[in-house]
Structure 1
Amino acid sequence: MSIAVCPGSFDPITLGHLDLIRRARSMFDQVVVGVARNSTKRALLDPEERVALAREALVEVGLDAGVRVEQVPGLLVDFCRGVGAQAIVKGLRGGADFDAELPMALMNRHVGGIETVFVIGDPALAHIASSLVRDVARFGGPIDDLVPTGAREAVRAAVRRQGNDAGGERG
């Protein structure tokens, strides 16, 4: 059985993430969505909430067969080894993504012997990034067409909790 890991912070999960997971599932028998902490970013949602939202989103879009969501506790290569993955699948929206992902792919191969498969993102979704979703939400902008249903209110609630709500949802 071929297994791939789609890692990310998923803070929050977006429609672009779901497209990548769907396409990874078409290439591998099983896909493990690995929800990781990114030490260089300040998270909006806690890891357990991100895992729950990802699971809910997969059911919402009918991707729950052959896909599971788990939290990545440490090094990605150790996680991949633990789930029996043969590959890491990462999405690329443009050249900047490739520039950021290439060193990580090379390090994962060096440290853990695992290959990374790059999938070109759907151009219709290329503008969607979790960081941009968080920024739009913090300033009260519309996010409904950027994230799955369950993530919408979770993001808005987290923004309110952080006291960063800039006037509520517009549009």
Structure 2
Amino acid sequence: MTGPESEGLQLRRAVCPGSFDPITNGHLDIIARASKLYDVVHVAVMINQSKKGLFTIDERIELIREVTAEYGNVQVESFHGLLVDFCKQRDIPAIVKGLRAVSDFDYELQMAQMNNGLTGVETLFVPTNPTYSFLSSSLVKEVATWGGDVSHLVPPVVLEALKKRLGKD
């Protein structure tokens, strides 16, 4: 083995969690920025049994892997349960979250404090690029469902998957 771990150095790890149904350019911006700050970025696709997603978990994982392949240090997998357990199992000390607005901060601060209190994991807030400050997966799905143009909001491979899924070819 070569590299930092073979020399006894700890790799800097972080996780970017979310449902990513589908991944948007806003998500991708946060993941790309995290990949410049950390040696390994885990993208954790949340499994919520009570919600019916547009894409299956496996489809989301595949789309994310495809659009993050160029970064070289992004690992994508699913998780069910507490994010802090995901972090503990993988020795991940930091969660990276994008903030679009003050309302995001109110909710995310509570989560960050709870996560830190449970296991000591830190949360880093990254301000969203203003271009994507309004963007959410739910909004993308709604606009795409009604035939609106979302080509500037999602990567091309995601746009094609949306069109196929929604029958908008």
Match of 1:130 among 128, 137, 142: 137
Match of 2:100 among 88, 93, 100: 93
For 1:28, the equivalent position in structure 2 comes to 38
Q: CA deviation at 1:42?
A: 3.8
For 1:52, the equivalent position in structure 2 comes to 62
Question: For each residue in 1:100-141, what CA deviation from the matched residue of structure 2 results, as whole angstroms up to 9, or x when unmatched?
Answer: 211111121122221110000111121221111011011111
With normalisation by structure 1, the TM-score equals: 0.86
Aligned length: 159
Q: Kindly provide the amino acid, as one letter, of the partner of residue 102 in structure 1.
A: L
Q: Kindly provide the amino acid, as one letter, of the partner of residue 48 in structure 1.
A: D
With normalisation by structure 2, the TM-score equals: 0.87
Tell me, in whole angstroms, the C-alpha distance in 1 between the residues paired with 2:138 and 2:113.
25
1:57, 1:149 within 8 Å by CA — same for their partners in 2?
no
Q: CA deviation at 1:74?
A: 2.1
Matched, 1:107 2:121: no
Distance 1:39 1:90, change over 3 A: farther
1:90, 1:119 within 8 Å by CA — same for their partners in 2?
yes
Matched, 1:145 2:155: no
**Percent identity of the aligned residues?**
47
Q: Which runs of 5+ in 2 are unaligned?
A: 1-10
Match of 1:84 among 85, 91, 111: 91
Q: Which runs of 5+ in 1 are unaligned?
A: 161-167
Tell me which stretches of 4 or more aligned residues in structure 1 moved more than 6 Å.
Answer: none
2:48, 2:80 within 8 Å by CA — same for their partners in 1?
no
Q: CA deviation at 1:41?
A: 4.6
Tell me, in whole angstroms, the C-alpha distance in 2 between the residues paired with 1:116 and 1:40.
26
Match of 2:79 among 67, 72, 77: 72
Tell me, in whole angstroms, the C-alpha distance in 1 between the residues paired with 2:50 and 2:116.
22
